[in-house]
Every structure is written in structure tokens, then in C-alpha cells.
Amino acid sequence: MTKPATLHEVAALAGVSIKTVSRVVNGTTTVRPDVRDRVLAAVAELQYVPNSFARSLKMGSGDTVGVIIDTIADPFFASLTHAVEARALAAGLNVIFGSTGFTPERERRQVERMAMQRVEALILAPVSGSHAYLEPYRRSFPIVLIDRSIEIEGFDVVAVDDRGITRRAIDHLLAHGHRKIAFVGSDARFPTTVERLVGYEESLAAAGIAVRPEWVRPGPTVDVDAADVVAEMLAEDDQPTAIFAANPRAAVGVAHALHTAERADVAFISFGDFPLAKTLRPAVTYVNQDPEAIGVAAIERVLTHLEAKKLRRKDPTAEIPEDEPRTIIVDTDIVERGSGEVAP
């Protein structure tokens, strides 16, 4: 067995002092970004593990997959992580979770934390921003992206056709006679939401309908409540007759506003299901994003990479096509429950 790397070896490779390595490993924020990057690259290359993790590694946590998502409070990610964990445990792997809180810096720190714990692989829902920092890590363990891609190629991506399925959802409302359709949940931080907005705009354009900027609204964010956004639109003389919610978090706010105002006459489609959606009247029609299918596809890619790693240990020259990065688009459909089929 290869002897574990030491703090001295990391410092020598990075060209810094031992104290600087210790500060980076312990998450001190006063280290210059370029120095921090050099240290983390050395940590990844040498697969250095701080002493504080040694005991946990000896207890078997080395066979661990890290999962980093936006927030566990999101019903989509709750279902996705449940599927990942179930399949991973069946394969004899442990799972640890982290959340980005929708911020790039927190995402980076979560990746660093899991790398320090020597995860065997990482499943990541990335936030918008630069992901150059991932380069050193991808040489140490496989990284599978879920729900969205990043600006760097060469990673596995498991996602859905956000633009295409949103077009189908808006076309569904158009087919039921709607011409005044609002989009709630616009958020430029996420490529998925941007793609859904493009799909919304393309569907309206194909029908010869101009986009109404006042009906393209954010929510929910720190400063915006989707329920308040919908209440504002319903208070105007010229109101939308249908609403498309870009994600389950926004959909919860839309549902609350519609039912508080007793506006069952407003058609409503959610991108993704959410708790109690089918118990409302009318029950909420939704885009079945199938988070469990995304989670299973992601962990299966992880297992494929780990198996390839074992094969290469036996034969370093082996060619393993299944180990090449892939983009997997999970099928989606529209589940009709009544709210999306309301006529104007």
C-alpha cells in the first residue's frame, strides 16, 4: 500500500510553507486565491488527507460518494438524493451530502471538503460561475454533473431537455386556448431556468404572441416570494390566464397565491412535482422531471467509472469506452391533473 502523503510533501509540491498548507486545509479565507489553488492542486495530486480524517478512513469511509446539491429542502433534490443513496448503499458505498446554498464559493468549499475526505466519486449540481477549480479534482476521482452542465467539457452530465419540455408545456396551455401566459421563477443563476425561459419564449413566438416582460417574474429568491409575485399580477386589470412555474419552489408559491385568492380559473403548470400538488383542486399538472431517474443515472455513471478504475489497476493499457464522458438526457413528460387543462 502506498504511504499516505504528508503535510511536508504537499507544501514542497505547492512551493509554500507548511503553515500555508494548514491554513488552506482548515478553510482560512485569508490565503491568496492563486496560492490556495496551488495548494489544492497539490492536495489533489498527492491525495493528501489531513490527520483529522485518518480515523474515519480507517473505519471504512473511503468507499464514499459525495453528493452536492442546491438544497435538501427542494423536493426535486430530496427525491434525487434518495435514489442516489439507495443505489449506492446497494452497491456497498456510503454517501455524504452537502449543499451549495446557490452560491459558487460555498459550492467550491463543499467540493474541497469532500476531496479532503477522500470520496471515491462526486455527484454535483453546479451553480453558475467558473469551474476551473474542478480540474485538479477530476484527475483524482470521477465527477458527474446533475441537472445542469458547466463551461468546461469532459464531464458526465445527467439532465433533461429543459428548453424542449418547457415548449411542450407552453404549447399545452396554448392548445387549451390561453394567450396570456406568465412565467414565474426566472433566475439567471441557473442554466436550467434560463433554458426553460428560452423554451417559454420560443413557444409564444411560434404562436405569434409577444412576450410580456411584466409577466416574466423571479421567485423564489432571498428577496422575492413567488406567492407575492402572483398576487401582484392577479391584482392588475390585465391578468394572465395561465401560469407556468419554472421549478417546484416557485410552484409552491404560485399554488398558495391561486388558492388563497380562490382563482381556480387560472391554468397552472409546474416544472416538477411538489408535496400535496395532487391534493389541490384542481390538482396541479406538472412536468415530470423524474428526479429519481436522474439520480439513478448519475450513480450508475459513478459505478461505471469506479469499475473502470479497478480494471485499469489490473491493466493500465486497457481501453474502456464506457468510461468516456457522456451526456445523458432523461426522458420527461407532462402529467395532466387538471390545473393545466383549465380553459380561459
Question: Is the pLDDT assigned to residue 54 strictly greater than 50?
Answer: no
**How high is the pLDDT of residue 63?**
87
The CA distances from residue 49 to 52, 97, 112, in Å, are 8, 19, 11
**Would you call 136 exposed, middle or buried from its count of C-beta atoms within 10 A (0-12, 13-18, 19+)?**
middle
Q: If you average pLDDT over residues 75-104, what whole number do you get?
A: 92
Q: If you average pLDDT over residues 264-277, what whole number do you get?
A: 94
- pTM value is 0.77
**How high is the pLDDT of residue 176?**
98
Angle formed by the axes of helices 33-46 and 18-25, nearest 10°: 90
What rounded mean pLDDT belongs to the chain?
88
pLDDT band at 28 (very low <50, low <70, confident <90, very high): low
Grid cell listed for 208:
405569434
Question: Is the pLDDT assigned to residue 62 strictly greater than 60?
Answer: no
Alpha helices in the chain (DSSP H): 7-14, 18-25, 33-46, 54-56, 75-90, 104-116, 135-138, 162-175, 191-206, 226-234, 248-260, 291-314
pLDDT band at 60 (very low <50, low <70, confident <90, very high): very low
The type of residue at 100 is T
Q: If you average pLDDT over residues 207-236, what whole number do you get?
A: 88
Question: Is the pLDDT assigned to residue 52 strictly greater than 60?
Answer: no
Query: CA dihedral in degrees (290, 292, 298, 304; nearest 10)?
Result: -120
Whole-number Å distance between alpha carbons of 139 and 115: 11
**How high is the pLDDT of residue 222?**
54
Question: Is the pLDDT assigned to residue 221 strictly greater than 80?
Answer: no
Question: Is the pLDDT assigned to residue 53 strictly greater than 70?
Answer: no
**How high is the pLDDT of residue 104?**
92
pLDDT band at 233 (very low <50, low <70, confident <90, very high): very high
Whole-number Å distance between alpha carbons of 72 and 234: 31
pLDDT band at 55 (very low <50, low <70, confident <90, very high): very low
Question: Is the pLDDT assigned to residue 100 strictly greater than 80?
Answer: yes
Which range has the worst mean pLDDT, 34-38, 130-134, 192-196, 324-328?
34-38
**How high is the pLDDT of residue 34?**
84
